[in-house]
Chains A and B, each alone.
Chain A
Amino acid sequence: MFKNYFLVAYRNLVRHKGFSFLNIAGLALGLTACLLIGLFVYDELQFDKFLPAGERVYRIYTEQTSKETPETYSPVSPMYATTLKQEFPEVEQTARILMNPTTNLLVVGDKKIYVKDGLLVDSTFFGVFPLAFKYGSAAGALDAPTSIVLTEDVATSFFGPENPVGKEVKIDTTGFVVKGVLRNDLSKFHLKVNYLVPLAAAQLPAARMKRWGWHQFFTYARLRPGADAAQTQAKLQRYIVEQVKPTMKDEEMNDKPFLQPLRDIHLYSATFKYDLTVKGNITYVKALSFIAAFILLIAVFNFVNLATAKSMQRAKEVGIRKTIGASRQQLMLQFLSETVLLTLVSVLLATLLTALLLPALNAFTGKTMTFDLLRNPALLGILVVLTVVVGLLAGFYPALVLSSFQPVKVLKSAVVTDGIFGRVQWLRHGLIVVQFALSVFLIICAIVVFRQVSYLHNKDLGFNREQIMFFPMRGDNMSRHYETFKNELRQVPGVVSASIGYGFPGDQVAGDGIIVPTNGEQKNYGVTQLMVDYDYLNTLGLQLVAGRDFSPDLKTDKDQAFIINETAVKELGFGTPEQALGRIMKWQVWSDQNPDSLKVGKVIGVVKDFHYKSLYDKLEPAVLQIFPPAYWKVAVKLKGDNVGSSVEGVKQVWGRFNPESPIEYRFLDDNFDEMYKAEDKLKTLLWTFTGIAIFVGCLGLFGLATYAAERRKKEIGIRKVLGASVPTIVALLSKEFLLLVLVAAVIAFPAAWLAMSRWLQDFAYRIDMPLWAFGAAGLLAAVVAFLTVGYQAVRAATANPVTNLRAE
């Protein structure tokens, strides 16, 4: 029986090649998109799942309640770990990582390599994160202050394949002993890590480690089995309010701590400040999942649509089979097995396409996803389930319609009339509307995302970010003689100016308090501190709106002057920029020797607001001051032409000050572009998959238009005999479909508006919703629909009417 079904199915496939192609291609494409997105989403959901007992591990983060809209911070005070370990019996173990995003020069013998992502961690680190070791073991690996644990990649690049345990690695000039090598399977670990060194190596002052106001540690706690995280969190929040706050004298304490499950960190930390983890974004994962479902839905709808349209041709067969004695169940089974067969072919094709396209997706996302059916039986299972489910979903309705035909009616006339199909017409139209609504929705989203991403890249940030070479100083010689270093940089042909400081746009900036005496009261404001030199403003091209720049000729500018931005004028309550000039501000100097010394100075200038952080963040009040002890980074403004030789010149100057370490530079605008990587990728993915969705939808529409033209052959023939022109007939055939597109647009517009408004809200700086995008999306859908349908319409309209009438 099944042999007969498949035989008929196979011969139908071969006989109606065009139809089969539309069906299979559409479904295969849809399935490919689904599989690729599915792999990506699955991969994103796997983060930190490889860690044993990971479900008991939580990260402590805080909300700063002092701000208008509470902000979430990843790094917290070192005291959280201390307190949890000592006062909370339900906590089994804690581990801290110092926020220290620097690149260090690692040296082994003659080999010197800059290595990013070295973590300074508590020696308990491997107690919380039981990572697998290739050489050595976790026990005691971080106990001595001179211990270092490397990842396999780093170990290999220094030592080759041999076991390096016991060998020495220098970080800059300090020696460490390799205690272990981690296995290379950290791609699903939320922390970026290349090597680990115990916190003890940093020799942090013990007094600082007791400060609740020093938010510098990523802190993790593993609870005992059976402990309740919600209760622990509530208890911790109470502890802060009842035990910690009353002990705070000078510092404000606005922390509200939370426990974040380890396995949520990767996807649910998109808005966390100062986070250094491998970031995913649950919004994008969800959006892509929706798109995958959309595309599959569109493909399945195509299938249903084409199959019911084609049922006219199968009506006779149904009549004959019923006459001979086939039951309705047998017929349904037949049509369902046909669809499952078609789906199977599509799935096989999709599997092939997925395997071919996965390397490209891997390159694009920087992932190492695999699609190995033999090694992953679960994947095979999913494909089988997909085949059956999609096959049944797509086949059920057509099978129901086909098997309901009355043999008396379908066998009587050579051509089955519209009457029988009238009732499936609404369904076909409904499905087209849904398909086009989804397409219009995706087109709008794609346009809005594209506009916002261009805005992020091109918005005037209030400073000049072009041709600025940017690098950290290295070595004592350079830091001690930074002024000479800067002067020599300025001598390089092609260098316009150079600035040394801490707090450049797109780089790390420090937040700290500033005290403003107002009406006899000392008010403390949280601001961004930019430690600058005399060339900062002109190197970055910042504009003064009041007052003057720092001047090396005025001795007092170093110790008694501040420049603030426009936002600071507002938030510190200074009125206008002019009124701000001359106002007194006090700053608690960064000094371990003299923690209580105050720098007191006047506001000498106000700069126009400039975006030193990503456009996700609202501009904050910023205070600029001369403070050489914090100087660390160098920005060199180059002329537009001959950049290559200018860079060479800068390198030579560097070599004179530090021949030991090679220079490691980038350009400032790259820093900014990097911030929007996720959005750039979203943009590309959205455009790609929107394209696929539209294409798949068009395949279906094309098929339907073919059948509509077929169905109305006689009508077209009669109209032509009566004198209708080709354009009128094309209009007649296209009108119906264009109307459907219109309805689709009406449905899609509000949905897209809502979705995109919500997405844009994540950005502190964003475009206005581009209304034209809605018109454009509707128009695009209409044009695509018209072209698809029009081809068939023109063919039908230009056919010889006599042939069509005779066929009746």
Chain B
Amino acid sequence: MIKIENLEKIYRTDEVQTKALNNVSLEVAEGEFVAIMGPSGCGKSTLLNILGLLDEPDGGSFTFAGTEVAHAPERRRAALRKQHIGFVFQSFNLIDELTVAENVELPLIYLGVGAAERQAKVTRVLEKMQVMHRRNHFPQQLSGGQQQRVAVARAVVNSPRLILADEPTGNLDSSNGNEVMELLTELNEAGTTVIMVTHSEHDARYAHRVIRLLDGQVVLEHARA
């Protein structure tokens, strides 16, 4: 489903050039669960942002579901994002002014889904994530684990083909973290491709395959032990 070849990303300031990604090539098949690991500053998040069509590479190619998207215009990338990709962040990134249900509903609004269908989908996903009883609460009224479950609910509400998770358990204690990992695994088992950036060896064990980055390069790729 995803194929990148010789991907490059360079950050420039006035005096310094930093290669965040250097000739990275990898493929992710439909239905895979891939973990990307590496020390801070190795380029994991940069890679994830490019995979999520939030950032553009400076070189190389990126094929998403058969089409080249490395330099697609913002409008097309926004369209692909809202149809096919769900995001889960370390810091949850829920909108504080919206309730749980409204946060989850947001992607459907941008997709132009009708009100009745939105309600049905939101209810379904909230029940699945076990936060239905919190539907009218605001993010600050929830625990970290609950917030991340809402974030996952928002990521999957429009049934994306790909979920990108950036350190999804980074702000959670271990039991809440495990719950979130279980959720991602369930989604993966139901057919959704998951790519996750993580520091945690424990979390990486949920993945089928681990890709290790160092200084912007893939140094190791191995299947789950």
A residues adjacent to B (C-beta < 8 A): 1, 4, 7-8, 11-12, 15, 316-317, 319-328, 330, 406-408, 411-412, 414
**B81 CB-CB contact with A under 8 Å:** yes
A320–B54 CA distance with the chains assembled, in angstroms:
11
B52 touching A323 by the CB < 8 A rule? Answer: yes
* A11 interface neighbour in B54, B94, B97, Cβ under 8 Å: B97
Give 5 pairs: A residue, B residue, CB < 8 Å, sorted on A.
Answer: A1-B109, A8-B98, A322-B78, A325-B83, A414-B91
B89 touching A411 by the CB < 8 A rule? Answer: yes
Given contacts A320-B94, A321-B106, contact A326 B78 (CB under 8 A): yes
Closest residue of chain A to B83 (Cβ to Cβ) is: A325
B93 touching A325 by the CB < 8 A rule? Answer: no
Closest residue of chain B to A328 (Cβ to Cβ) is: B74
A645–B59 CA distance with the chains assembled, in angstroms:
103
Interface residues of B in 94-142 (CB under 8 A from A): 94-98, 102, 105-107, 109-111
**B62 CB-CB contact with A under 8 Å:** no
Closest residue of chain A to B79 (Cβ to Cβ) is: A325
A322–B74 CA distance with the chains assembled, in angstroms:
10
Residues of A within 8 A of B93 (CB): 316, 319-320, 323, 411
- Closest Cβ of chain B to A92, distance in Å, is 67
- Closest Cβ of chain A to B162, distance in Å, is 13
B95 touching A320 by the CB < 8 A rule? Answer: yes
Interface string of B70-94 (1 = CB under 8 A from A): 0000110011011100010101011
Given contacts A328-B74, A414-B91, contact A323 B81 (CB under 8 A): yes
* B54 interface neighbour in A8, A321, A323, Cβ under 8 Å: A323
A4 touching B49 by the CB < 8 A rule? Answer: no
Residues of B within 8 A of A414 (CB): 91
B45 touching A412 by the CB < 8 A rule? Answer: yes
- Closest Cβ of chain B to A187, distance in Å, is 51
**B215 CB-CB contact with A under 8 Å:** no
A4–B109 CA distance with the chains assembled, in angstroms:
9
Closest residue of chain B to A1 (Cβ to Cβ) is: B109
Chain B contact residues (Cβ within 8 angstroms of A): what range?
A: 20 to 34
B residues adjacent to A (C-beta < 8 A): 45, 49, 52, 54-55, 74-75, 78-79, 81-83, 87, 89, 91, 93-98, 102, 105-107, 109-111, 154
B95 touching A325 by the CB < 8 A rule? Answer: no
A327 touching B78 by the CB < 8 A rule? Answer: yes
A320–B79 CA distance with the chains assembled, in angstroms:
15
A650–B203 CA distance with the chains assembled, in angstroms:
108
A324 touching B55 by the CB < 8 A rule? Answer: no
Residues of B within 8 A of A327 (CB): 74-75, 78, 110
**A7, A12, A323, A407: most-surrounded residue (chain B CB, <10 A):** A323
Closest residue of chain B to A327 (Cβ to Cβ) is: B78
* A324 interface neighbour in B75, B97, B110, Cβ under 8 Å: B110
* A325 interface neighbour in B45, B94, B98, B107, Cβ under 8 Å: B107
Total residue contacts A-B, CB cutoff 8 A: 70
Closest residue of chain B to A412 (Cβ to Cβ) is: B45
Residues of A within 8 A of B106 (CB): 4, 321, 324
Residues of B within 8 A of A320 (CB): 93-95
A316–B91 CA distance with the chains assembled, in angstroms:
11
Residues of A within 8 A of B111 (CB): 325
Residues of B within 8 A of A11 (CB): 97-98
A322–B75 CA distance with the chains assembled, in angstroms:
11
A325 touching B97 by the CB < 8 A rule? Answer: no
A7–B109 CA distance with the chains assembled, in angstroms:
13
Closest residue of chain A to B89 (Cβ to Cβ) is: A411
A12–B109 CA distance with the chains assembled, in angstroms:
19
Residues of B within 8 A of A7 (CB): 97-98, 102
- Closest Cβ of chain B to A307, distance in Å, is 16
The 10 closest A-B pairs by CB, nearest first: A325-B82, A11-B97, A325-B81, A325-B110, A324-B107, A320-B93, A408-B49, A408-B55, A327-B78, A408-B54
Residues of B within 8 A of A323 (CB): 52, 54, 81, 87, 93
- Closest Cβ of chain A to B61, distance in Å, is 20
Residues of B within 8 A of A4 (CB): 98, 102, 105-106, 109
A408–B52 CA distance with the chains assembled, in angstroms:
10
A1–B112 CA distance with the chains assembled, in angstroms:
8
- Closest Cβ of chain B to A413, distance in Å, is 10
- Closest Cβ of chain B to A704, distance in Å, is 23
A322–B96 CA distance with the chains assembled, in angstroms:
16
B78 touching A12 by the CB < 8 A rule? Answer: no
**Could you list 4 further interchain pairs (A-B, Cβ under 8 angstroms) beyond the known A1-B109, A323-B93, A326-B110?**
A320-B95, A325-B107, A325-B111, A328-B74
Residues of B within 8 A of A319 (CB): 93
Residues of A within 8 A of B81 (CB): 323-325
Residues of B within 8 A of A412 (CB): 45
A327–B112 CA distance with the chains assembled, in angstroms:
12
A326–B49 CA distance with the chains assembled, in angstroms:
16
- Closest Cβ of chain B to A276, distance in Å, is 64
Closest residue of chain A to B112 (Cβ to Cβ) is: A1
Closest residue of chain B to A15 (Cβ to Cβ) is: B97
- Closest Cβ of chain B to A323, distance in Å, is 5
A735–B97 CA distance with the chains assembled, in angstroms:
35
B52 touching A317 by the CB < 8 A rule? Answer: no
Residues of A within 8 A of B87 (CB): 323-324
B95 touching A8 by the CB < 8 A rule? Answer: yes
A324–B111 CA distance with the chains assembled, in angstroms:
10
**A1, A11, A324, A406: most-surrounded residue (chain B CB, <10 A):** A324
B97 touching A8 by the CB < 8 A rule? Answer: yes
A407 touching B54 by the CB < 8 A rule? Answer: yes
A140–B12 CA distance with the chains assembled, in angstroms:
93
A324–B98 CA distance with the chains assembled, in angstroms:
14
Closest residue of chain B to A320 (Cβ to Cβ) is: B93
Residues of B within 8 A of A326 (CB): 78, 82, 110
Given contacts A8-B98, A15-B97, contact A324 B154 (CB under 8 A): yes
A12–B96 CA distance with the chains assembled, in angstroms:
9
A316–B110 CA distance with the chains assembled, in angstroms:
17
- Closest Cβ of chain A to B206, distance in Å, is 23
Residues of B within 8 A of A324 (CB): 81-82, 87, 106-107, 110, 154
- Closest Cβ of chain A to B183, distance in Å, is 19
Residues of B within 8 A of A408 (CB): 49, 54-55
**B52, B107, B109: most-surrounded residue (chain A CB, <10 A):** B109
